[in-house]
Structure 1
């Protein structure tokens, strides 16, 4: 084959799902970018006077049940949900579900 017209046609590009993003050609450009990843166990609202009455052993009730999945954020944007695990005496988080990109990028779940 010396002529390009004789070369077999390339297969059509595959549709990549969100799980194959690491295989995308431009991923290497971003692979080294650092992100701040945080996990939100829950939240609550309280007045300043309630905050000032807290002492060692005080319990703060959060807005989430103990069985609910925790929110995982990257730079303040919700990216996944998971559950707490213990790994060699340290806490970790096991990803249970990845949030749909249109939901996380829409800014509806963005935290500051």
Structure 2
């Protein structure tokens, strides 16, 4: 019995080991300002200076997606002259998983 216990890993250590294995996996984070639907004819009429109205109010939070799955909502900020996003609300696990199931 002692031989077996020497090779057993505590659940906490096993979980930490698994997280370290996953930590180097690259993920695509994107921020969605809004979207709209256009007919092909409308798309072909777009030219420099055209404005396309999106489905979101300017005061609404933006969607933060990881590999296409909504994980949080936030607001635009600038950092050293670049755009950034400040996380305001993290989406719950149930909501995230429902989004994944819908895509499958």
Which structure's residues are more often helix, by fraction?
Answer: 2
Q: Kindly state the Cα deviation for residue 107 of structure 1 after the two structures are TM-superposed.
A: 2.2
Extract structure 1 runs of 4+ deviating beyond 4 A. 108-112
Unaligned runs of 5+ in 1: 1-23
Which residues in structure 2 correspond to 1:28-47 (within 5 Å)? 28-47=20-39
Report if the CA contact (8 A) 1:39-1:71 is conserved: yes
Unaligned runs of 5+ in 2: 1-14
After TM superposition, the score normalised by the length of structure 1 is 0.72
Structure-2 change in CA distance of 1:80 and 1:30 (3 Å): same
- Number of matched residues? 90
Matching of residue 106 in structure 1 with residue 94 in structure 2: no
CA RMSD of aligned residues (A): 2.2
Matched residues in 2 for 1:33 and 1:45: separation? 33
After TM superposition, the score normalised by the length of structure 2 is 0.78
